[in-house]
């Protein structure tokens, strides 16, 4: 693609923190940022002198006819580090803007099932250690039906548990005064009413105590060893028929991930902080049979090219890819385009708040192209 113009600017994300928007040939894309970020992620800060970064990248790419891979390689050359410590959010915004400007091949599309964050906790507020309590419309026959079910469950939860709700967090999920088990029980009750599957993002790294190697649940009076954490997660899977469990152990416990994956059936054991969309970390997980699913977040690795490389490795080895938003989001719906173009069977795109930008774009794509929802093996 011929690059005729290139611009960077500072905009603000859903937490009113600055981030970077890139514009290529009049097409914009923005970099989101996470609150519970893995140690091994690419950096996603706003460079201190964005004008200088704009000039560096602009001088290198303007007037050039580039592929996505060549463009992303130029970004890596300009940055000079493995983690984009210099370009930060400017790298992912630029890479995504190139991707959007080049256009997507949706064709007769396979659409992902939306994974909705109904109740939140952990780093995003609330009384639970686990970060997200999720509902998934696995019985839906279309994207509109899936979105209707998520909306019904969102309103239904408020109607049933309104007195336990304290507000909403920065992902649009309800914040309650319930502990982890009570929250799962409430979410499972609402999910059953609307015919939805249930999942969690434990985000266990955030409450793992490195000093004693335990997982602390103060509201339930528990401090668990790694083996006890695995057994607790197994119990939750069995009791609430969980089909999706993200980051049940801390971000470097490959052996623990392998152990829990071997113990459960018909449940996605999803690595987010474990893999952080990094090809090498996923390959290590594959070698150990750690997890069977991976979160795909472009800004964790820094470029569209590197994101797709990790995605293709996951697909090659039977790991279920889940395209995902971040907690500090923008109105850019590009992950919906990527999920459809790359045939990811799931997309974590929330239910309420700024995440409706992604869900509404999925509805647009469904209306434009038609298609079918992914073929699930759960």
Which residues, in sequence order, are bridge partners of residue 85?
A: none
CA 315 to chain centre: 17
Buried b (16+ CB within 10 A) or exposed e, 297-321: bbbbbbbbbbbbbbbebbeeeebbb
Count, residues in the chain:
378
Catalytic-residue membership of 158: no
Using CA atoms, how far apart are residues 179 and 199, in angstroms rounded to an integer? 16
Q: Of 23, 111, 20, which Cα lies nearest the Cα of 358?
A: 111
69 within 8 A of 50, measured Cβ to Cβ? no
Q: Of 165, 212, 216, 167, which Cα lies nearest the Cα of 187?
A: 165
Using CA atoms, how far apart are residues 44 and 33, in angstroms rounded to an integer? 6
Detail the DSSP E strand segments found in 89-161: 109-111, 113-120, 132-136
Catalytic-residue membership of 308: no
Residue whose structure tokens are 């548990």: 161
For the packed helices 89-102 and 334-341, what is the interaxial angle rounded to 10 degrees? 60
Using CA atoms, how far apart are residues 350 and 342, in angstroms rounded to an integer? 20
Q: Of 241, 247, 289, 295, which Cα lies nearest the Cα of 267?
A: 241
Catalytic residue, candidates 132, 181, 246, 297:
297
Q: Which two tokens stand for residue 3?
A: 């690059």
Phi-psi region of 29 (alpha: psi -120 to 50; beta: other; left: phi over 0): beta
C-beta atoms surrounding 87 within 10 Å: 29
Q: Which helix (H) or strand (E) holds 79?
A: helix 68-79
Catalytic residue, candidates 41, 54, 171, 181:
171
For the packed helices 50-61 and 68-79, what is the interaxial angle rounded to 10 degrees? 140
Burial class (CB in 10 A: 0-12, 13-18, 19+), 154: buried
Active-site annotation, residues: 171, 297
């Amino acid at each position: 693609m011929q690059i005729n113009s290139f611009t960077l600017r500072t905009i603000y994300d859903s937490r009113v923190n600055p981030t970077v928007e890139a514009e290529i040939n009049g097409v914009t894309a923005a970099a989101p940022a996470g609150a519970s970020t893995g140690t091994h992620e690419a950096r996603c800060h706003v460079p201190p002198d964005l004008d200088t970064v704009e000039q560096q990248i602009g001088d290198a790419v303007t007037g050039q006819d580039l592929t996505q891979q060549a463009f992303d390689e130029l970004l890596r050359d300009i940055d000079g580090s493995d983690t984009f410590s210099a370009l930060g959010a400017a790298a992912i915004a630029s890479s995504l803007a190139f991707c959007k400007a080049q256009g997507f091949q949706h064709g007769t599309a396979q659409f992902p099932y939306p994974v909705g964050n109904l109740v939140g906790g952990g780093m995003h507020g609330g009384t639970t250690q686990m970060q997200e309590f999720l509902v998934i419309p696995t019985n839906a026959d279309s994207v509109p039906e899936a979105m209707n079910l998520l909306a019904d469950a969102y309103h239904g939860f408020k109607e049933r548990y309104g007195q336990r709700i304290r507000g909403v967090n920065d992902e649009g999920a309800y914040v309650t005064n319930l502990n982890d088990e009570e929250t799962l029980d409430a979410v499972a009750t609402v999910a059953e009413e609307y015919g939805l599957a249930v999942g969690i993002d434990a985000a266990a790294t955030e409450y793992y105590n490195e000093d004693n190697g335990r997982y602390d649940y103060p509201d339930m009076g528990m401090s668990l060893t790694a083996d006890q954490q695995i057994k607790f997660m197994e119990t939750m899977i069995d009791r609430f028929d969980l089909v999706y469990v993200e980051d049940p152990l801390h971000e470097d416990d490959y052996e623990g991930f392998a152990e829990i994956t071997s113990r459960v059936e018909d449940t996605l054991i999803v690595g987010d902080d474990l893999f952080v969309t990094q090809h090498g970390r996923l390959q290590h997980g594959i070698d150990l049979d750690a997890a069977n699913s991976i979160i795909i977040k472009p800004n964790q690795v820094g470029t569209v090219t590197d994101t797709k490389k990790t995605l293709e490795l996951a697909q090659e080895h039977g790991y279920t890819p889940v395209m995902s938003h971040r907690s500090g989001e923008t109105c850019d719906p590009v992950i919906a385009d990527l999920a459809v173009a790359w045939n990811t069977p799931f997309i974590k795109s929330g239910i309420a708040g700024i995440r409706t930008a992604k869900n509404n774009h999925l509805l647009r794509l469904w209306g434009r192209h038609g298609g079918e929802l992914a073929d699930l093996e759960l």
